[in-house]
Amino acid sequence: MWEYSDKVKEHFLNPHNVGELKTANAIGEVGSITCGDALKLMLEVEQNSEKIKAAKFQTFGCGSAIAAASVLTDMLIGRTLSQALEITNQDIAKALDGLPKEKMHCSVMGQEAVKAAIANYRGEKAITNEEQEEIICKCFGVSENKIKKVILENKLTSLLEVTDYTKAGGACRTCHSKIEEMLEKINSSEKSVSNENTKKLTNLQRMRLVQETLEREVKPELRKDGGNLELVDIEGKTVKVRLLGACAGCKVANFTLKDLVGHKLREFVEPDIIVEEIKE
């Protein structure tokens, strides 16, 4: 029998923000009734500030799916779209004081719904499973791209964990060997990167890793909101950057530097790296 927190029970029995949001200008639909879980997330976004004014949901799923969608709408109201994109599935589970490991896929579905709704608001085409590289789990329609993303973001190491977070491999088992190959390949690569980063870096190594991380992990996220940044200088473990485009003078610039730029550099370069903004 699974153990549910009091918050999960509360949001399941008395879910918040349920129903249709007639003023919605951002709608994200993820999952499938055929596969057992589906979620429709509706947001009302203020155009000037890109702040989420209201949020509602409709879902077909278990108690955990209802609770995850309910707490997610509470988390979204009052945030900007950039801040909403920073919400991870772990944040959703944490807001519920945890989810049973077998139900973590409900939090992943919530994170996907946020990204789909924001893509809808911005006029971007949502990528469906059929358009992605390869469907690994045909029973639940789970793509290679999704499995890889969930493994990396949640540091998964076993087939059972992948099933808990994505449902992949939870039916006919045909995809088990492929998922295990992905786990071995991804975790071997991550371990190599981790071992490299624990060594004392030379100035040239640090500079290379900083540049690679900014290009791969940071700039693509900033460009989604019309922003960007420029690497100005590196002094020891202090990285100096200049915010550009929509990021320059933005009210949440400190948030961007601390929770996006700083977080990514500390994750992929060195744990004690410091980020400073150059404004002139």
In CATH, what number does 6-121 get? 3.90.1010.10
Q: In the chain, at which residue ranges do the beta strands (DSSP E only) sit?
A: 26-32, 37-45, 52-60, 135-137, 142-143, 227-235, 238-245, 274-277
Burial (CB count <10 Å: 0-12, 13-18, 19+), residue 126: middle
List b or e across 266-280, with b for residues whose CB sees 16 or more CB atoms inside 10 angstroms.
eebbbeebebebeee
pLDDT at 223: 86
- The alpha carbon of 32 is separated from its chain's Cα centroid by a whole number of angstroms, namely 20
Place of tokens 């690497």: 231
255 phi-psi bin (left φ>0, alpha ψ -120 to 50, beta other): alpha
Helix, strand or coil, per DSSP, at residue 157: coil
129-198, CATH topology level: Arc Repressor Mutant, subunit A (1.10.10)
CATH architecture of the domain covering 203-277: 2-Layer Sandwich (3.30)
Q: What is the CA radius of gyration of the chain?
A: 20
Structural domain spans, the chain: 6-121, 129-198, 203-277
pLDDT tens digit sequence for 123-177:
876 554 444 468 899 888 898 989 998 999 898 999 999 999 999 998 888 999 9
Residues in the chain: 280
pLDDT tens for 3-48 read 899 999 999 999 999 999 999 999 999 987 766 789 999 999 998 9
pLDDT value of residue 267: 84
3 state DSSP class of 60: strand
Q: Which two tokens stand for residue 28?
A: 């994200």
- pLDDT value, residue 194: 55
DSSP string for residues in 210-277:
HHHHIIIIIHHHHHTTTEEEEEEEEETTEEEEEEEETTTT-TTHHHIIIIIIIHHHHHHT-TT-EEEE
Helix, coil or strand: residue 31: strand
CA 60 to chain centre: 22
Q: Which residue has the tokens 């493994």?
A: 151
Q: What are the catalytic residues? A: 35, 106
User: Residue 121: which of 85, 75, 71 has the closest Cα?
Assistant: 85
Q: Measured between alpha carbons, how far is residue 68 from residues 63, 155, 167, 190 in Å?
A: 9, 21, 16, 29
pLDDT at 171: 87
